[in-house]
Amino acid sequence: MGSVTRIVLQRLALGLLTLFVVSIVIFTAVNLLPGDFAQAILGQGATEEAVNAIRRDLGLDQPPVQRYLEWLGDALQGDLGTSFAQANFANFVGSGTVSELASVTSQIAPRFANTMFLAGVTAAIAVPLSLTLGILAALYRNSVFDKLANITTLTSISSPEFFLAYILILFLAVLNPWLPSLSNIYAGMGFGERLEKTLLPALTLTLVVTAHMMRMTRAAIINLLASPYIEMARLKGLSPMRVIVRHALPNALAPIINVIALNLAYLITGVVVVEVVFVYPGIGQLFVDSVKIRDIPMVQACCLIFAAAYILLNLLADILSIVSNPRLRHPK
């Protein structure tokens, strides 16, 4: 376990370094966005003194390096900053709870929970479906089923997400009103109702991610079918399905786990388009709304969460691949 622990620690250190570099890129890119929040709030007729006063109150007049270091230090302590838009609204209405209303963390938390619920529902559908299709495609390779499965999944992954979303809305919500076209999720909603309203965006994401996982499962199993131990299992008279499930699949887990983890990362970071189409109250929808009004702290926080989730799931894929493959645990 000493070598495994060392490799895992190296991966974690590399992940933290990557996240640090990404944080610099996020801060730089967000602050280079065109437009100015103070100008957007006050309108075209605002005086220069009023604009400068708002920029000074929000700390936008400070040097970029100082603002980045303050933002990074607060983020390491769990404080993602104060929303410009909500702080302005709280001050406008004269509320005494400006910090609570304007806290980025308090606004992101329920949205992130909604996005995780959507990703969880999608994973619960896509992972078993992909593994089943991959195993059957490997079992009946070059058959009509194999060709049809490949054509269908490649067509779905080649289509833009918004196009798939509108197709599903047309057939499952308009022509056949089985599912709601809008995902009106709110706090206190029951699990069954929440699941019903989440199902259509989850099906859209399932069509997007199934192809990768199905084709990797198929390829990994087919690569092992010519191995000597597979031939021995066949000579013993085992059924083709049992040979694949009991002997080929466990040894093909490393690449399959890797591609599943990468697609789960996509489910968290790539939901922006789907959430906007279905008006799903997740972090992707919040990100788009924040970009529109130039709410810099909120945009930075959303980007940082996307990056952290993607890096974390990539690290998890590496670690699980190492643990499941002895050749990676003991490299020569």
- pLDDT tens series, the chain, 332 aa: 567 777 778 888 888 899 999 999 998 888 887 766 666 666 666 677 777 777 777 777 788 888 888 888 888 888 887 877 765 544 444 444 444 456 888 888 899 999 999 999 999 999 999 988 888 888 888 889 888 988 888 888 888 888 888 999 999 988 888 888 888 888 788 888 899 999 999 999 998 888 888 888 888 888 887 778 877 877 787 787 888 777 777 777 777 887 888 888 888 877 888 988 998 998 988 888 888 877 888 888 999 998 998 888 888 877 777 776 666 555 55
Amino acid at 40: A
Q: Which residue's structure tokens are 């730089």?
A: 28
Q: What does the pLDDT read at residue 332? A: 54
Contact 293, 331 (CB under 8 A): no
- At residue 179, φ and ψ (nearest 5 deg) are -130, 150
The reported pLDDT for the residue numbered 21 is: 93
> What does the pLDDT read at residue 79?
81
Q: Write down the pLDDT at residue 98.
A: 41
Query: What pLDDT score was predicted for residue 35?
Result: 67
Distance (Å, whole) CA 242 – CA 132: 14
Instruction: Identify the bridge partners of residue 188 per DSSP, sorted by sequence position.
Output: none
The amino acid present at 142, given as its one-letter code, is: N
Structural domains of the chain sorted by starting position, each given as residue range(s) with its CATH number in brackets: 111-288 (1.10.3720.10)
Alpha-carbon distance values, 313 to 34, 259, 265 (Å): 32, 11, 6
